[in-house]
Amino acid sequence: MKRLVVTADDFGAAAEVNEAVEIAHTRGILTATSLMVAAPAAHEAVALAKRIPSLRVGLHVVLVEGKPVLPPTQVPDLVDSSGHFRTDMAASGARMFFLPHVRRQLMREIEAQFEAFHATGLPLDHVNAHKHFHLHPTIASAILRTGKKFGMRALRVPREPRKVLAQIEPQSADPVSAITTPWSALLALRLKMSGVISPDQVFGLRWSGAMTKTRVRALIDRLPDGLTEIYLHPATSPYPGSAPGYRYAEELTALTDSDVVATRSDPQIRWGGFGDFA
């Protein structure tokens, strides 16, 4: 059986993202989205999600390129002078791993983000992290420990089958995949031991910000067996803080294109959120 979750990340980042999520779910193939609880348009995102209960919503843990839920004075080693999370992920990750006082701040901030999501009243469909920072073993441990308190059932493991990508667009090896693969394998093992589900394969890494309708349709046509997640970053237009070069509007088009939407009628594919398959 082929089971598919189509997710939009960065829900709440801006009005342009929220609008795209609503359009992609009500007119397209989007089944789930991941909420940034401290983002500028998070309150509007929550209100939108409550109007559309069929939209599955998860927590997008943010520890880079954003602001913490806690006051910066409570997490001084996680933020810079402006109160935003540090952008040097390698150095930040090293401090989290080696320094106990930084780990304590990390744990408190992750707990605060779970608590903020819980306060929305929305069911927690899944969890993932901005920039896949949850591949860091210290962050993964904190999410697993806290997630149990809040009923976390599913966590993204970014394992992208290169064989499927090569069938669509023959290409050279992806250096990012070479770095993430061993950490993804370790995280998948930890989740299996913890009883937390994860997708068997995830698409959206290699073509992040460029998930065009041609690519999305080709992925669905070649969908492997098992539980698959395809994630995108749709928005009606670029917005303050958006990633340079990301083709936001094209990703929204990919989710609502008539040829792509036609795949919803495929009897071999079951669509939903992670909670529908837990």
pLDDT tens-digit profile of 85-110?
A: 999 999 999 999 999 999 999 999 99
Q: To the nearest whole number, what is the mean pLDDT of the chain?
A: 96
pLDDT tens-digit profile of 234-273?
A: 999 999 999 999 999 999 999 999 999 999 999 999 999 9
Give the domain range for residue 187. Answer: 2-277
What CATH number did the domain enclosing 99 receive? 3.20.20.370
Contacts of 98 (CB under 8 A, 6+ apart): none
Are the CB atoms for 32 and 55 separated by under 8 Å?
Answer: yes
Domain count, the chain: 1
List alpha helices for the chain, DSSP H: 15-27, 42-51, 89-98, 100-120, 137-149, 162-168, 175-194, 213-221, 248-256, 258-261, 274-277
pLDDT tens-digit profile of 12-31?
A: 999 999 999 999 999 999 99
184: burial class by Cβ within 10 Å (0-12, 13-18, 19+)?
Answer: buried
Work out the number of other CB atoms within 10 angstroms of the CB of residue 22.
Answer: 18
Work out the number of other CB atoms within 10 angstroms of the CB of residue 23.
Answer: 16
Residue 244's region, left for phi above 0, alpha for psi from -120 to 50, else beta, is beta
Are the CB atoms for 58 and 35 separated by under 8 Å?
Answer: yes
Distance CA 199, CA 212 (A): 22
pLDDT tens-digit profile of 42-72?
A: 999 999 999 999 999 999 999 999 999 999 9
Contacts of 232 (CB under 8 A, 6+ apart): 6, 7, 8, 9, 204, 211, 216, 251, 254, 255
Distance CA 114, CA 171 (A): 39
pLDDT band at 220 (very low <50, low <70, confident <90, very high): very high
Q: Please name which of 241, 242, 176 lies closest in space to residue 204, comparing C-alpha atoms.
A: 176
54: burial class by Cβ within 10 Å (0-12, 13-18, 19+)?
Answer: exposed
